[in-house]
């Protein structure tokens, strides 16, 4: 993977900072984790034009974007359930928030129940989750 | 990253993993995957603790797309335990060490 451009890096750093504030989430305590993800997102902007999540494997990134915006940051899981498996938007201790996930979701299986410290923020697409209403 | 653990490739996967005489834990990772970095020290520790009983290897999915596609890898880090060439368990995410130890106990 090539080093991302300064322009894309700046765009992602600004976006991530604002999204922490908007959703009441925190950066991971290990700054290298955050930096790696931001670099990967920026590199994907340069490569395919969108900040595709760098914590997934895609056999074909362009085909993935034609299929769906599901894994464009902020991904559908983050917007619906406030769950970031990439550990970019997390609870203060670095754990991904799993409180809003369905119980059979792999995030709940792996991390257990991690409460949302700011339940009044984020989840802008919660209305898309079956059985929940957009209050 | 992963200095002490052998990296395997699409070309070496069959001989390094499927035909291994001991069980294998393969860690599918990518350079700019944050949780891959978070779990790397745990995988390194395990490699030291299970020497001779379990082979632990890594595969960079950016450089080796055939194998992750073959095993349905999506979220990474993605750790798959093989025994006698067969998948025994597949674990996704930066799981706690205890979670991996429990999984490894089923194959060693």
Asked if A135 and A127 count as a contact pair (C-beta separation under 8 A), the reply is no
B75 at A interface, C-beta within 8 A: yes
Residue B4 clears pLDDT 80, i.e. is over it: no
The rounded percent of chain A whose pLDDT value lies above 90 is 87
- Chain B residues in contact with A55 (beta carbon < 8 A): 30, 33-36, 75-76
Banded model confidence at residue A134, pLDDT cuts 50, 70, 90: very low
Q: Which domains does chain A have, with CATH numbers?
A: 6-128 (3.90.460.10)
Distance CA B55, CA B84 (A): 12
- Which position has the higher pLDDT, A125 or B101? B101
Residue A18 clears pLDDT 90, i.e. is over it: yes
pLDDT of A2 reads 76
Sheet containing strand B24-29, edge to edge, reads B6-7, B55-60, B24-29, B78-83, B86-92
Residue B72 clears pLDDT 60, i.e. is over it: yes
Q: What are the tens digits of pLDDT across the range A35-94?
A: 999 999 999 999 999 999 999 999 999 999 999 999 999 999 999 999 999 999 999 999
- Chain B residues in contact with A111 (beta carbon < 8 A): 93, 95
- Which position has the higher pLDDT, A109 or A6? A6
User: What would you measure as the largest C-alpha separation in chain A, in angstroms?
Assistant: 43
Q: Which domains does chain B have, with CATH numbers?
A: 5-105 (3.40.30.10)
Residue B100 clears pLDDT 60, i.e. is over it: yes
Query: What is the pTM for the complete model shown?
Result: 0.91
In the residue annotation, B59 being an active-site residue is answered as no
Residue A135 clears pLDDT 60, i.e. is over it: no
Residue A100 clears pLDDT 60, i.e. is over it: yes
The rounded percent of chain B whose pLDDT value lies above 90 is 94
pLDDT of A129 reads 62
User: In Å, how far is B70's CA from the nearest CA of chain A?
Assistant: 10
A interface residues, B as partner, C-beta within 8 Å: 1, 28, 30, 32-34, 36-37, 39-40, 43, 54-57, 59, 85-88, 94, 106-107, 110-111
B42 at A interface, C-beta within 8 A: no
Beta bridge partners of residue B81, listed in sequence order: B25, B89
pLDDT of B49 reads 95
């Amino acid at each position: 993977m090539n080093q991302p451009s300064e322009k894309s890096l700046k765009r992602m750093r600004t976006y991530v900072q604002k999204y922490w504030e908007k959703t009441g989430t925190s950066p991971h305590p290990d700054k290298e984790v955050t930096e790696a993800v931001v670099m990967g997102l920026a590199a994907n902007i340069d490569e395919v034009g969108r900040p595709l999540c760098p914590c997934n494997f895609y056999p074909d990134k362009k085909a993935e974007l034609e299929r769906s915006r599901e894994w464009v940051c902020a991904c559908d899981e983050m917007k619906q359930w406030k769950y970031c498996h990439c550990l970019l938007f997390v609870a203060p201790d670095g754990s991904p928030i799993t409180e809003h996930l369905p119980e059979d979701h792999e995030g709940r299986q792996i991390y257990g129940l991690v409460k949302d410290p700011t339940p009044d923020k984020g989840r802008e697409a919660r209305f898309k989750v079956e059985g929940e209403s957009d209050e | 990253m992963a200095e002490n653990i052998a990296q395997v490739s699409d070309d070496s996967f069959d001989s390094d993993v499927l035909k291994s005489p001991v069980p294998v834990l393969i860690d599918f990772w990518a350079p700019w995957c944050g949780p891959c970095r978070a779990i790397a020290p745990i995988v390194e520790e395990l490699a030291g603790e299970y020497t001779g009983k379990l082979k632990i290897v890594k595969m960079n999915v950016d450089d080796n797309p055939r194998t992750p596609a073959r095993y349905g890898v999506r979220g990474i880090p993605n750790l798959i335990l093989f025994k006698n060439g067969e998948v025994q368990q597949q674990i996704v995410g930066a799981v706690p060490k205890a979670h991996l130890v429990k999984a490894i106990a089923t194959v060693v």
